Structure 1
Amino acid sequence: MAERGTLSVIVPCHNYGRFLGEAIESVDRQDRRPEEIVICDDGSTDGSWDDVQRIAEGRADITAYRHEQAWGLIRTFNELVERSTGDLIVPLSADDRLGPGFLRRMEDDLLARDLDFGYSDYRCFGAEDWYFRAPEMDVDRLARANFISGTAGIRRSVFDEVGGYSPAFERLGFEDYDFWLRVVEAGKVGARVDGCHLEWRRHPGGSRNTATRRDRLHLRWKLLVHHPRFFLHPRTLRAWRSSGEPVGTAVDAP
């Protein structure tokens, strides 16, 4: 089994300072605490920076900084990874919460099973209340829909190797799908970490990932352009035909 390394939780925040305390408390309650928490206030206009500073005050394990103007999620996320130092990276949205025991279980699984990334079930709360049981890792299933949330554990070396998140997908809101496809295409190995380890806050009005049929067709074309070897593989084409649905049908994931 590989040696344990360091772990960073990275938190992008744009106008979600009112929820940030819950997010950080969920990290603090973990039985495996990260070596660092890195928070970026991405040009918030509602006073969230004050919340960030209050939470970070007196905490040597928290690094906090801000953008005067909003950069957008993808640029901010990639910068957070660059600024962090952990061997393992776990992203957490400022309005979400980690479930109990996630960091230890994720790290244990990655080390014991020699995995490159690990993901889990999640529970929605707030404006919606439902549970998603993530399937075991399956490339054919991933060809039909993304089931890996953005809040997953990944080795820094893997993130760097695939080049982080692509800005080409930011406006569509499917940057997670593109990212995990590139990770799989690079031959990396991941698995489901047993249990519900993400609490995903749902806001009135839904998610930016809720796509219309036109959006899904655009997404399918974009994915084909960016991942031709993956989506034009005979096995993947068979998976599409058997599903009866266009790619992206179930990619509404945190």
Structure 2
Amino acid sequence: MAFLDPARTASVDVIVPCYRYGHFLEECVGSILAQAGVATRAIVIDDASPDGSAEVGAELARRHAAVTFVRHATNKGAIATYNEGIEWAEADYLLLLSADDALVPDTLRFSTQLMDRRPEVGFSFGNCLSLFEDGSLKLVRPLGGGAPSGPQVFGGETFIRRCGATNIVPTPTAVVRTTLQKRLGGYLPELPHSGDMEMWFRLAVHGSVGFTDETQGVYRRHDRNMSQGYDTAGGLPDLQQRKLAIDLFVERQADALANPEGWRAHLYRDLARVAVTRASSVFNTGDLSASWALSSFAATLDPRLRTSLPWLKLGAKRLAGPRGWRLLQGALSSARGKPSARGKAAAGTHPA
């Protein structure tokens, strides 16, 4: 393990892509400039926003020497904007931070100190706060509440296995070693929704992954999040983008993977489990077409799933039919001494 030079101040370029988020921009940039223990620069790239983003960005650059502002004459899209920011980056480390998100005060030093001490770490991440429109906050712990406390470093394969077919890295917390990012290239235009997942896998193949166990970022959830359109049809478009991310990762990193097709099968298997779980969930809501589409998608990924307990449970639901399944649930709840959904409603409470 290398020892940290106490006189060293790590530098971080924070890339801030902005499209119609001018009303969030000052808070976002302010959270970057407020970071202690690191030298930060905010690179704000406005993708031809029709709102006041350009005026806010230009004013921030006028007031702060550590803010660089760029405006596109025409809209280039999110992926091209991200990659332009990566090209601009010159610091030791970089972070991609959407203009509607923010950093928790004094947290970049946790990532940079971990990565300074462990030069084999290609990127690191931490916990995150989800900020909802009503002002409420929810702590997101990517490794789960039962994980050991304190900083950790994972080998790349261990990290990918832990993720499976799910992106566990909160993007506002992901600090990347700039030299590695530039060597491996930017985000893939084929993946407007799942580019993050492919990127973390790609970086993990070429370095270890650090986890700070600190709350580092704030992810704002609102009705204009870019991911909203992928929640339709029970989330099938989201899962299809994840499959494409897996395929592109395996195909383009084949030379760096010991068993590329083994990795594809492993990740497909996990994605199939997610799909059949969603198929069962949307069946409960009465969306039978979405349920069939999700289960068909799962079966194409991993035909062996047809003998699993979740698949057999879904089959039992379909045999009973939506009404029969609801009646059976009510009978089971009564047998366990729990009020059914109808009983809860009658009692003036809301069903879970």
**What SS does structure 1 have at the residue aligned with 2:164?**
helix
Change (3 A) 1:38 1:123: same
| Equivalent residue number for residue 323 of structure 2 | none
| Match among 102, 115, 132 for residue 140 of structure 2 | 132
| Equivalent residue number for residue 141 of structure 1 | 162
1:193-251, Cα deviation, whole Å (9 max, x unpaired): 1211111111136651654443144224413431335773269628935983249x8xx
Residue correspondence of structure 1 range 167-182 to structure 2 within 5 A: 167-170=189-192, 173-182=193-202
| Equivalent residue number for residue 116 of structure 1 | 122
Larger radius of gyration: 2
| Match among 180, 184, 201 for residue 220 of structure 2 | 201
Comparing 125-134 and 155-164, the one that deviates more: 125-134
Residue correspondence of structure 1 range 141-160 to structure 2 within 5 A: 141-151=162-172, 152-160=174-182
Quick check: 2:124–2:211 contact (8 Å CA) kept in 1? yes
Mapped partners of 1:202, 1:216: distance in 2: 17
**What SS does structure 2 have at the residue aligned with 1:8?**
strand
**What SS does structure 2 have at the residue aligned with 1:176?**
helix
- Aligned: 1:244 with 2:273: yes
| Equivalent residue number for residue 249 of structure 2 | 227
Change (3 A) 1:207 1:68: closer
- Aligned: 1:188 with 2:207: yes
Shift in Å, 1:34: 2.9
Change (3 A) 1:243 1:112: farther
Change (3 A) 1:208 1:239: closer
Comparing 26-35 and 78-87, the one that deviates more: 26-35
Mapped partners of 1:108, 1:26: distance in 2: 19
Identical-pair percentage: 25
Quick check: 2:33–2:40 contact (8 Å CA) kept in 1? no
Mapped partners of 2:160, 2:79: distance in 1: 25
| Match among 46, 50, 56 for residue 45 of structure 1 | 50
Shift in Å, 1:133: 0.1
Quick check: 1:30–1:102 contact (8 Å CA) kept in 2? yes
Quick check: 1:15–1:44 contact (8 Å CA) kept in 2? yes
**Alignment TM-score, normalising by the size of structure 1:** 0.85
Mapped partners of 2:55, 2:265: distance in 1: 48
| Equivalent residue number for residue 252 of structure 1 | none
**What SS does structure 2 have at the residue aligned with 1:75?**
helix
If each structure's helix is expressed as a fraction of its own residues, which one has the higher value?
Answer: 2
Comparing 4-13 and 46-55, the one that deviates more: 4-13
Mapped partners of 1:91, 1:140: distance in 2: 24
- Aligned: 1:218 with 2:245: no
Quick check: 1:12–1:77 contact (8 Å CA) kept in 2? yes
Aligned-partner residue type, residue 131 of structure 1: L
Q: Which runs of 5+ in 2 are unaligned?
A: 144-151, 279-352
Change (3 A) 1:244 1:55: same
**What SS does structure 1 have at the residue aligned with 2:168?**
coil
Structure with bigger RCO (C-alpha 8 Å, 6+ apart): 1
**Alignment TM-score, normalising by the size of structure 2:** 0.63
Quick check: 1:9–1:37 contact (8 Å CA) kept in 2? yes
